[in-house]
Each structure stands twice: as structure tokens, then as C-alpha cells.
Structure 1
Amino acid sequence: MMDLIPSWVQTLWNLWNVRILVLISLILQFILSIFGNRRKYISSVWFSVLIWSAYLMADWVATVALGKLSEAQVNGLLRAIWAPLLLLHLGGPDTITAYSLEDNQLWLRHLLGLGVQLYMAVYVIIMSWKHSWFSFMSFPALVAGIIKYGERTWILKSVSGDQSGDIVPYGYLGDYNTSGYLGDRNTMEGEYMRVLYIAHKFLKEFKSYMEYYNISENDFPSAQFLDRYDDIKLFWNALEVEMGLMYDLLYTKAVINYSKAGWILRSISFTCTLTVSVGLFIRLIFTREDHQGKWDTVDIAITGVLLVGALALEIYAVIVLYLSFDWTLLWIVKENKSGWATQLRQRFPFLFHKKKYWSKMMAQFDLLGFCIKEKSHHQKPIRRILGSVLGNDYNDKLNGYLHKTVVHVHPLLYSEMLDYCSNLGVVSNRIVVEEDSIQGRFAKRPFQEQIIIAHITTEVCYYLERESNDVADDPSSWENNREISKTLSRYLMYLLFMCPSLLPLATLRETTVRDYMPDIWDAKDVSAACRYMLERRTFDDFFTGDLRRMRKGERWKILKYMWLRMLCYAASKGRKNDHLQQLRQGGELITFVWFFLPQSRTLGLNPELMGPRLDKWNVIPQEIHQVTTRK
């Protein structure tokens, strides 16, 4: 029987397999180091696939390489250095310890892996031992590998078992009003330090609060603390920083990096790696006649690349620690060294520029546009083949992903959410007192049906806007309300079909677009579809016709508060792990609202912070009730 793989290919692979694997392992470490921490503000499927692939392959490649090294009957002295360096790779970079929350729960598996891989590394060292002083260089390399792998295992265990915020570095930072504690509030560094102080305090309290997240019954602990602030912008900035710090705790080595033990261990591992590098350099320079006869030139080059790469990764990690700067500045706050911040700003002003802590993007999905596109492509052979292979559900998911668009979060949405929550007080899915009213029955419907009905209503009002000749009292106001309503409508539609786990849906069956596609006949554009549905009443219409007869300002105010209610309600009922998972994918607006809701209620204690507020909150539900019962 003829071999499927030629003998020369097998010979070449046997000669180069270990070399290729250790180089691939190093390349994967560089990918994770450079891009691992950027996923908290990059919302892209392809970027997530890159990080996911590198994360899975990094452990697999390093493990296989160690196995290949242990299989050899006689290992070279240089390759004995490779084994502990692979342990260093298994420890992972500082920028990513866990890809998802579930990885933190698997710390026992990593502990077992540490024992097994350490045994294999020691076995390789013993089998490769020579009567040479360079053999002792494997010991500092082994120490560096044990430290890195042990750090990762300890962090995974600490994160998985923490529910009270004990893992938050620096603990209690002291009193906010301590004289000179945070520097001059009128300077950039003073404002920056205040934002970080607020974010750190929120983080430590929210870490324990989210375990029993219930904004209708449990007050956020910082109620009295918040009404001492004189600038609401600090709150918004602090909320974003809090999300970034939470990501650092859950998915990076921040827990140990910003502690004394972490700096000691980093110094030891760096010194050990540097010692091995110097030892290799001395060996090559002063004993050239020895290594020419026994050492392979390729192995020498690969060993040098591995050692230089390990040093480069350590140096890069330290640079990232300083450039990320948030935790460093928190240490300055902890040590009451506000003057150092001023000096840092004078020498390195770029450190105080505003950073990105989440993507600030909203995915958009318009159902009517999708329906029109589906009808136009329904008969194409490639679409039928794809549907038959993947199934309609997966095909709809793929088509929905290709149809979605992305926009920036509307700047006015922040103040609208704050105004809404401070006036309402409690987020609820019940928005009218009279349960027998049309709007009351609407609120009782399954949440996914509310989204569909309100979305079609918003689309009809939006696309047929030009047909109305009414004049609004405040054009800028209704135009802003219209844009906010449209973006929230399409955002919740995106969540419904692409991220249903983030919504409080009544059904356990995953919803597909096909379940709620309305009848638009043969409409060729969205305006025609809206006109057809409005005239024929082909969808479950509660109040679209009545809203169309209202003035623009009144109409879009009602729709805006309707969508704000649904967004806040969905966020308040979300599951903790589902929201925390979004931190590693660029973040979602609904996750930002999930962080925001408990802390927003406490801001209402100081009306001066809020700016203009509604005089009577009940005016909005009452308007809706009057409109829907006018028939």
C-alpha cells in the first residue's frame, strides 16, 4: 500500500516539527499580548475570532511541543531550555488570562495542567543534562516558567471565587474629601484622578452588588457619596472607566500585576530569563569551538529568538502597565502622591488623554428592510443551497448579521437615560395603572412581541414622516427624539434576533427573524411597506394610527420614552454573566445601562446635578393612554 505522505515530507516534518511548534507558540504569544486587551473596545466578529483562535491554539501548540520534546530519546542541550520557555508561554501574557468567564471556573484544570507540564519539562531537562555549566541555565528558565504558569492559575482561581470585591487592587482608597488627596480639581490630572477614584469606588461596591442585582429592592451603597459631586460628566466618565476596570479584573492579570507580590514575581521571572540569555551569549562567544561541533546552528538561532522574544514580551508588558495608566494613577491616589500626577502630565501629557473603555457603538437591524431584501433574494440558487446546508435558522442568523449596520451611541442618549431613570425611580415593565387599557394589555404581552410591535410602529412613523404637514413647536427637540427612537428601536431588534440572551424573553426557544416577518405584500422599498401595513393593518397595531395623527413633538416624545422603558427594563432583568461576557466583545449599550441603572438612582438625591427634569412623570403614560383609548 502506497504511503499517502511521501517519505521526504515525513523526514522533513520529523526534523522540523518541534522547531516549528515552538516558533508558532511564540508568535501566538505576541498576538495575544498585542491584541488581547484591545477586545474590550473593539466590537468585531473577525477580531473576536482572531483572539479566540490564538487563545485556544496557544495552549494546544505549547502542550504538543512539550510532548514532542519529551518523546525524543536524546535531546540537545539547547532544547532543554525550550521546555521551561514553553511553560512561560503556557502562563500566557498579562493582557489575557481568560477568554471567557467560563475559563475562570476551569482553574483546577489549569492547576492539573501545571503539574503535568512541569513534570514533562523536568523530564526533558534531566534527559538532556550534560556535564556543562550551561546545563544549569535550565533552572532559572524553569523558575520563570513556573512563576508565569502559577500566576495564571492563581488568578483564575481568585476571580472565580470572588463575590465581594476582595480581588480589587488597592482596596479602600480613603476619604474623597481628604485635603489635597486628589489634587486640584481644576487641572486635567486632578479631574482624571477624581474620575478614577469614583470608578474604583463604584467597582469595588458593584462587584458585590451584582451578585444580588435588584434595583427595585436594593440600594447602591454610594448614595450619600454621590451627591457630593458637582459635575455630572465625572459620573459618565467614571462609569466607562468602571467597565474597563471590571474587564481588567475578569480577563487579565490585573489582580496580581498591581500588587507587591506581582512586582516581586515579575522581577524574578525577568531576571531569570535575562540570566539565561546572558548565559547563552557567553557560551556562544567564549566556547565557539565546542558548540560548532555539537550544537545545531538552527537550534542556536531558535533559542536566541525564544529568549529575546520572552524578554521583549516582559518589557512590552511593563510598558503596557504604565501606558494603561489607570491602575498606576490609582496607586498614586492610594499613596497620596497627587503631586506625582502633575509631574507625569508635564512629562507625558499623552497619558492623560481620554481612553476607550468600550466601543460606544450600537448595532442596528431594521426588520422591514430585511424582509424586502429576503424577498428579492429568495429565488436565487445560492441562497437556496445555503439554506438547505445550514438550515433556515443558521441561514437567517447569517443573513441578519450581513444585514445589520453599526452606528455611534447618540450623544443625547446618556442624559435621556439619566433623566428617565431619576424621574421614574423604579424600572418596570408596567407603564400604566389601568391594566384593562390598550397600553396596559400591550405591557402584558411577551417582551419580544412588544419589541416587534413598537419597532414596526417606529418605522412606520419614521418613513412616512414627510407625508405629514403638521408643524412641531420645537423642531430640534422632536428631531433628536426621532433619532433616539429610531436607533433604540433598531438596536433592540438587533438584540432580539442576534443576542437574545441579553433580553428577558418569556420563551426558551430561540427567536428567528422568520417568526416575526410582517406581511408587506410585494413592496419594493420600506416606505411602500410602511404605507401598505398602515392602510391594511397587516400587523398587530395598537396605536400606530393614533400616533400618526399626533403632532411630531408629542409623537416622538412618547416613542422615545417607550423605548427607554424597554431598554432599561431589559437591562435590569439581564443575567450577570451575560453582561460580563459582553465586556470582552467591545461592550454593548445594554451592558452599559446594566452598570448605570443602580448608580443612576442615587444621583436623583441631588436635583442640582440633573439639569432640566420632567415636572410630572405621569404625563407620558397618560398621553399614551389617551391616544390608545380614543377610538
Structure 2
Amino acid sequence: MRKKTAKKCVTFIIWSAYLLADWAASFAVGLVFDTEEKYASAQDKGDDAKGAEADTGLLLVLWIPFLLLMVGGQDRITSFAVQDNELWHRHLIWLFLQLCTTGFVFIQSVHQNRLWIPTLLLLIAGTIKYAERIVALYLASSDSFGTSVLKDPNPGPNYEKLMREFKHYEDSNVPVYFAKFPDIESGVVNVKYDRFYGDLSDSELVQYAHRFANMYKGLIVNLMFSSREHKESREFFSNRTAEDALRILEIELNIFYDLLHTKVEANLKLGKMVRYMPFGFVVSALALFHKKDKYGFKSFDLKLTYILFFGFLGLDVVTELLWMFSDWSTVSSLSKDAKYFPLAKIQSKIFNELLSLKRPRWKWKETNAAPQENHWWVACTAKILERLKPKSKESEKEPPYATQKIEWQEASTPIMFKRWSETLSQFNFIAYFCKESGSEGIFRIIMTNMPKSMHIKDFIEQKKNDIFLKRSVIPQPLPKKLWGFIFQELLEKSTSAHDDGEAKRISLARGDWILENGVFFDDDDSELSRLMPYVKDVAYDESLLLWHIATELCTANPPDNTGDEEAFMFSQWLSNYMMYLLYQQPNLMSEVSGIAKQRFRDTLAEAQRFFSQRQRRRGQLVMDYQRILDVDTSLKPADVKGNLSKSALFDATRLAKELNVLGERKWKVMSKVWVELLSYAASRSRGNGHVQQLSRGGELLTFVWLLMAHLGLRESWVETRIRTRLIVSK
């Protein structure tokens, strides 16, 4: 569930259960150990009343191995976070201590325990189950995983031998030199993967996804790739539709998740026999226990024992079903040899039907291209996607609302068939400011009016800001057209990258490449020169805030051209999403965040001061925007105020005025600039930040990061390998 939803309540429940498991097992083993000693002592004293109860102590000994079985974890979750994989040493020590404790209890009672054989079988099963978990944690740890994705050691050509031959020819006055040429890596592509063109079936998409996941799993530890791998990947994705590319990336990221958080890799390494042994031991123990005489056992204890047996077996059957219908099993069932077996053909048909259920679903949604109607994330509006009617004479001066209807498809896949959360979280600076200045709830009053003399004042203030920031985040289903737009933009950039140097320059662009190469300005460079400083001469976090506020201010003049509504929506979605990443996802944006928090607070303070001097009404966003745009910004704010404040409010106002000069072209310019700002953050982020996000529902940024890797749009990701040859001239 946790990789399919970003809801905090689901994550909290799973996190609580994960932490509680080991503690509960240790507590229960200690409790059983203490109780069993009392029963054994009563039986040794010959107390008949207590001797009857001592039979229950035998069941307590039988229950201990179940704790190992349960703490061993289900195959679908071995670690909650990536950092838990580094604690495999701790789990190994825990297993050793538990085996010592359990072994002591077992040996102490074996001479009088008529259930010792079922107990021993369960103990072996529990040890195997927990050992599987330790192996899975070890294989997913950074050291082991980083080593596993490395290629075999390659010492290269024999330098000493080549130099000896070179010197021999040189001393003999024979013309000789070393020629360099690119390494054309040989390797026959599997027949199942040679059809790069045309439409692909669901099963073929899964097979391609597994192929590329094995090829690109080194991204997690920031490895480089060869030019052949890059060429193959770029050629493949260049001939895919945006939806097929999204599906392949979904499967790849699910494979990355399984490698890091499940027992998939351990099961593949240890083999099927080890995987099914615990189930067989538990079934054997159940059969032996069922045949044993139950005299002296309490009815409730017997029922609980059977519940433990069938509970474990039931969970194991469910886990096996999940494995059978997973993408891993699909690939193995669709292998070359599968077509020769009738049962395999039936299985393949079943898998194809299941894969069709996992396709992304989309539903239609409609809204008007007007700023107040479009801002469903703004808390100041009365209802989502409803027109706000002017209520004052002053508001009648606001620009007229556009009447065009915009329709788009957004993700609506049922949660059972989702591969990730399919959300595009939105955080809007103006919405947060309106909520900050207009909300006076009880919780806010309590948090704000804490005693000033308390030493926790700064802590309370920080937590208050974090809480209100999180409350301003609105989850938005991923729009289909937005993904298609991002895919096409990155594909065009990949096509434009004729060499590694150009690919590096494009990947490092944050708006300047599209302003220099986009067909927006014809032969007039004056408009271009006025926009470039806002992407090249400022820090990245400042650029995000500038373009975000400017995008909002430009909504005071919504598009009236039917061809600009989509660009208008793309700009809004990406603007709010990038602000969400900058202030809510520090793990993903740590490389580019800079002093984003200080800049945000200074900008918020300046906005509050600006509007405190003017009376504003809730819901009058267009009027507020116009008030800001009416401020004289002929001089740069830094020339007037100095640089003590990092506020970007009126710098963004200057940018908005420059964008308004573009007229109808501004929305297309902004939408493409926002894609570059998004791709820049993706190219600069590290793999460990993305894989951490996979267990929290996933992010669109992670898909862009992986897509850029496939298209070669990443700094130092592609390595051209060079061979040399000793050439002897006659």
C-alpha cells in the first residue's frame, strides 16, 4: 500500500507496525520464558493442579518459533526505509540472541516435552525465514548493492607487453603508433527485445522494463553507463508514446523498490527450495501437532495455537499469490521456453489479462481558463472550481473572466492496480499567504501565543510553520497531457543533443536553453535579453520563487487565445509542483535548495507588510495581483532596499511585467521554462533521494530523473569507451 499512496496516515500505521514487531517479539519471548519456568517448577514439585497447567507451558514453548516466523517479515516488506537496510548487522545479532534464548527454553523442556518435534520444525522454519530477511537487508545495503551493480574487473590490455612491442619496433626504425577508436561493444540483443518500433503489448512492456531496470539499476548508486547502453535506451524511448514510456518507467521504479524493500533479490539468490522450506516445515509441524494427544491443554490455548498455524500459512499463501502475479513472475513465465508448454501458455494469457488491469486509468475533468476558477488549491476561494462572483464595486474593475472551457484527463487508477500514487502535489505561495494572513483558528492562536519566556519558543515557531506549510499542500491527480508535454519536451532536447557536450549543456539548462533556441522571438533579441537574467544571473531556488510568483501574477490576464489554455494549465501545475518540491521534499532538492527557506520567509514578510497597508478581501485574487503589478518597479529592488532582505516579491513583479510584454506567447514560454526548471532539479538530484521516495508514493520528479537517464540528458552519465590498437606501418 505504501508505494501506491502518499497519505500520511497509511505510512504512519505501517511505520508503527514495523517498529512494534521486533519489540513485541522480544517482550513475548521474555514473557514465555518466565511463565514456562514457573510451569516447569510446578511440575517438578509434583503439584497435580499446577502440573496440569504445566502442559500449557509446552504450548508456550511451541509459540516461541512463531515469533521468529512473524518477525522474519513478509516477503513484500523487509525494510521500511532505505536506511533500515544498513542495520542488517543489528538484525543478525538479534537473531543470534533470540536463537540462544529460544534454544535454552527448548533444551530445558525437551526431556518432558511431547511436542518437541513440531517445536523443532517450527524453530528451523523461523530461523530460515529470519535469515532470509537478513540476507535481503544485506543485499540491499549500500555497500553490497553498490558492489553488485559493478561490472567484472577489467585490467585492460597488457600495458607492459604492448610497450615492449612498441619499443622493439621503434628501435628497429619501423614506423609504429597507437591508434584510438571508439569501442563498438559487441553483444547480441535477445530476440524478445529486438522490436523497438511499433506498438508493444503489455507483456512486452514488462519485459523491456525488466531489461532496462537491470541495465540502469546502477543509477541508485550514481554509476555511469556506456555509450551503447545509452544509444539503445534512447532509440527505444524515442519510438514510444508518452503513455507507454510512463508505464515502463512505473515498472522499472517498482523493480527498484522490490530490490531495496522486499525479499525478491534474496529469493533469487537463495533459490526456490529455501523459499518454500519454511512453508513445508510449518505444514509438517501442524500435521504432527494435530495427531498428538491434547490431554491437559486448555481449550483457548489450543484454539490460539491453531490460529497461529493457519495465520502463518494463510499469510504465506497470500504472499505466494502476490509473487505469482507480480512483474517478476510475469517475466519468467513469458520466457522463450514458455511457448512450448501448454500450461505456460495458459499462465501467459492470465498474466496478460492482469497486466491490462494495471494500465493507468484516466478520467475527464473540465474547468474554465480563469484564474480564480483554475486555482482549486487556493484556500481563500469558497468552493473548488466554482466561479467567484464580484461582491463590491471595486471588484467590478477586475479583468473579465475567460469563457473557454479546458478539458483534460487525470489519473484515476484504482488503488489495487496502481504502481505509484499518481499524484502531483500542489503548493501555492499566494494560497499559503492568504491562509497565513486570514486564518485565526484555535490551534493557530494556541501555537502563536505561547509564552515568550519559554525556551521552546523557537522550536514551537518552527513546528508551527512546518505544520501550516504541510496543510497548504493539495494532492492533485497527475494530468495525462502534462506528462505528454514533459515527455515531448525532453525527447526534443535529447534529439537536439548531438554529442555528450551538448547533452550536458542541455541537462544543466534551467530556462536559458529554451530561451536561446525556442522559436518565440523571431529576430528580435531585446525580449530575450530582458528574460535571461531571471534564469542565469540568480540562484536556482531564487529563480523558482521568481517564476512561481510571476506565473501567479500573470494569471491576472488569463489566456484569451484557444491555443494557449493548455500552456496556461501546464505552467500552473508545474509552478505549484516545483514549489512543493522545494519546500516539502528536502531529500530530493537538497542539491539545489540553497537558502530557499530564508528567501521564502523574507518574501512572505514583505507580502504581509504590503497588504497590511491596504485593505484586502478574501477571494479578490485578481485585484491583489493587479495591486502588486501597479507598483513602480523601474528600479531593481536591490538598488533601492539593499541586499539585507532576500525577498523576491518585487523582482518577481518585474519578471511578470516582462512576460506580459510577450502577449500571447508568454504562456508557451513559461510552460517550457518550467519544464527546464523541473529537468534541472531532476538532473542535479541524487539517486538515493529518489529511491527513498519510492516507499512514500513516488514523485513525478523521479520519473523525470529516470527518463532523462534513458535519454542521456544527465551530466557524467554516459561514458564513451575508447580502444587502442598498435599500428605498424610498412
Is the pair's TM-score, using the shorter chain for normalization, greater than 0.5? yes
Higher helix residue share: 1
Per the normalisation by structure 2, the TM-score is 0.68
- Deviation (angstroms), 1:465: 2.6
Matched residue SS, 1:155? helix
Query: 1:144 pairs with 118, 125, 128, which one?
Result: 125
What residue number does 2:586 align with?
500
Equivalent position amino acid for 1:371 in 2: F
What residue number does 1:479 align with?
565
CA distance in 1, matches of 2:350, 2:655: 61
Query: 1:410 pairs with 457, 472, 479, which one?
Result: 479
Contact 1:101 1:581 in 2 (8 A): yes
What residue number does 1:610 align with?
none
Per-residue Cα deviation, 1:364-419 (whole angstroms, up to 9, x for no partner): 011111111111125x5531312437622211221122222111222122332233
- Deviation (angstroms), 1:59: 1.2
Per-residue Cα deviation, 1:135-171 (whole angstroms, up to 9, x for no partner): 2211100011000110000111111111265599xxx
Matches within 5 A, 1:228-243: 230-232=239-241, 233-243=243-253
Matched residue SS, 1:364? coil
Q: Does residue 282 of structure 2 align to residue 273 of structure 1?
A: yes
CA distance in 2, matches of 1:513, 1:420: 29
Q: Does residue 445 of structure 2 align to residue 360 of structure 1?
A: no
Q: Does residue 479 of structure 2 align to residue 401 of structure 1?
A: no
**C-alpha distance 117-509 of structure 1, shift in aligned 2 (>3 A):** farther
CA distance in 2, matches of 1:167, 1:584: 25
- Deviation (angstroms), 1:53: 0.5
Per-residue Cα deviation, 1:51-86 (whole angstroms, up to 9, x for no partner): 111110111111111122223324511111111111
CA distance in 2, matches of 1:557, 1:214: 34
Equivalent position amino acid for 2:62 in 1: I
Matches within 5 A, 1:315-354: 315-324=317-326, 326-338=327-339, 342-344=345-347, 346-347=349-350, 350-353=353-356, 354=358
**C-alpha distance 210-132 of structure 1, shift in aligned 2 (>3 A):** closer
Matched residue SS, 2:475? strand
CA distance in 2, matches of 1:334, 1:344: 12
Identity, in percent, stands at: 26
Contact 1:107 1:157 in 2 (8 A): yes
What residue number does 1:61 align with?
24
Per the normalisation by structure 1, the TM-score is 0.78
Runs (5+) with no aligned partner, structure 2: 40-56, 152-186, 359-416, 451-456, 494-502, 517-524, 634-648, 715-730
CA distance in 2, matches of 1:184, 1:501: 35
Matches within 5 A, 1:444-483: 444-462=537-555, 464-466=556-558, 471-472=560-561, 475=562, 477-483=563-569
CA distance in 2, matches of 1:302, 1:484: 57
What residue number does 1:41 align with?
4
Q: Does residue 642 of structure 2 align to residue 530 of structure 1?
A: no
Matched residue SS, 1:58? helix
Equivalent position amino acid for 2:346 in 1: Q
Query: 2:316 pairs with 291, 314, 317, which one?
Result: 314
CA distance in 2, matches of 1:349, 1:65: 45
Contact 1:181 1:333 in 2 (8 A): no
Per-residue Cα deviation, 1:528-567 (whole angstroms, up to 9, x for no partner): 3211211125521342113223333x11111011111110
CA distance in 1, matches of 2:599, 2:104: 54
Higher mean displacement: 572-581 or 413-422: 413-422
Instruction: Report how many residues are paired.
Output: 538
CA distance in 2, matches of 1:84, 1:296: 20
- Deviation (angstroms), 1:262: 3.8
**C-alpha distance 68-568 of structure 1, shift in aligned 2 (>3 A):** same
Equivalent position amino acid for 1:266 in 2: R
Query: 2:490 pairs with 398, 421, 427, which one?
Result: 421
Matches within 5 A, 1:77-96: 77-96=58-77
Matches within 5 A, 1:274-293: 274-283=283-292, 287-288=293-294, 291=295
CA distance in 2, matches of 1:482, 1:341: 50
Query: 1:543 pairs with 638, 655, 659, which one?
Result: 655
**C-alpha distance 360-511 of structure 1, shift in aligned 2 (>3 A):** farther
CA distance in 1, matches of 2:194, 2:28: 50
Per-residue Cα deviation, 1:440-497 (whole angstroms, up to 9, x for no partner): 35433222211111111111112x135x7xx53xx1x411111111011001111122
RMSD: 3.1
Per-residue Cα deviation, 1:15-68 (whole angstroms, up to 9, x for no partner): xxxxxxxxxxxxxxxxxxxxxxx2111111111101111110111111111122
What residue number does 1:491 align with?
577
**C-alpha distance 264-512 of structure 1, shift in aligned 2 (>3 A):** farther
Matched residue SS, 1:48? helix
Equivalent position amino acid for 1:126 in 2: I
CA distance in 2, matches of 1:421, 1:228: 14
CA distance in 1, matches of 2:438, 2:542: 26
Q: Does residue 173 of structure 2 align to residue 104 of structure 1?
A: no
CA distance in 2, matches of 1:88, 1:515: 54
Equivalent position amino acid for 1:571 in 2: A
What residue number does 1:301 align with?
303
Query: 1:127 pairs with 103, 108, 117, which one?
Result: 108
CA distance in 1, matches of 2:215, 2:60: 49
Equivalent position amino acid for 1:588 in 2: E
**C-alpha distance 511-109 of structure 1, shift in aligned 2 (>3 A):** farther
**C-alpha distance 225-585 of structure 1, shift in aligned 2 (>3 A):** closer
Higher mean displacement: 201-210 or 338-347: 338-347
Equivalent position amino acid for 1:202 in 2: F
Q: Which has the higher contact order (CA 8 A, sep 6+)?
A: 2
Rg (Cα) greater in structure: 2
What residue number does 2:368 align with?
none
**C-alpha distance 572-346 of structure 1, shift in aligned 2 (>3 A):** closer
Matched residue SS, 2:702? helix
Q: Does residue 709 of structure 2 align to residue 598 of structure 1?
A: yes
Per-residue Cα deviation, 1:313-363 (whole angstroms, up to 9, x for no partner): 111111111122x11121124453246665235456642222422112111
**C-alpha distance 123-511 of structure 1, shift in aligned 2 (>3 A):** farther
Contact 1:159 1:250 in 2 (8 A): yes
Matched residue SS, 2:146? coil
Matched residue SS, 2:98? helix
Contact 2:68 2:127 in 1 (8 A): yes
CA distance in 2, matches of 1:349, 1:409: 25
**C-alpha distance 365-246 of structure 1, shift in aligned 2 (>3 A):** same
CA distance in 1, matches of 2:469, 2:224: 33
- Deviation (angstroms), 1:183: 11
